[in-house]
Amino acid sequence: MINETKIRSIQAKIKKAISQIESEENVKIEFGKINYNSAFYNTSMKVTTLVETISVKETYERICKLLGFTQNVIGMEFEGRNGKYKITEIKTKNRKYPVIAVGSDGKSYKFPVSMVKSFLGGDKKINRDANLEKLLGM
């Protein structure tokens, strides 16, 4: 029978096995939502590359531009209402809150594009910061 305890046990074993794959392949593997009943459970898995290539950067920049940003904002930090946040991903299917950021408490939060733009200082500030990073080679 499948229950929450059984799922946690199985997920822990899978994560232990996956950690070796992550280090060998230079990727990050995360589990998504879990749906279950007493007979089975299913979950999604997301594999993200940790290699910073030009094509990866261009892909992130294209996604950010689709949402209305002028630069790639993934990795940028901003001071929000309840502390400091770092933008970790963009979910294009979520039209209302597509920007995902991790707070100083380690939890993920969803933000609308307009709010993130205002917290980052607007497009001019975002462009200035991104160009400065390019010049300094950060």
pLDDT digits (tens, 9 = 90+) for 118-137: 888 777 777 666 666 666 76
- Give the 3-state secondary structure of 56-84: HHHHHHHHHHHHCCCCCCCCCEEEECCEE
- Same domain, residue pair 31 and 83: no
Task: Print the domain residue range for 36.
Answer: 4-49
- Same domain, residue pair 127 and 77: yes
Give the residue from 75, 5, 3, 67 showing the smallest Cα distance to 36. 3
Residues 88 and 50 sit within 8 Å (Cβ to Cβ): no
Of the two residues 138 and 13, the one the predictor is more confident about is 13
Reported as a single tens digit per residue, the pLDDT across 62-102 is 888 888 887 888 888 888 888 899 998 888 888 899 999 99
Count of structural domains within the chain: 2
- Same domain, residue pair 44 and 78: no
Question: What pLDDT was estimated at residue 121?
Answer: 79
Residues 70 and 123 sit within 8 Å (Cβ to Cβ): yes
Q: What does pTM read for this prediction?
A: 0.63
State the first-to-last Cα distance of the chain, in angstroms, to the nearest integer.
51
- Same domain, residue pair 13 and 80: no
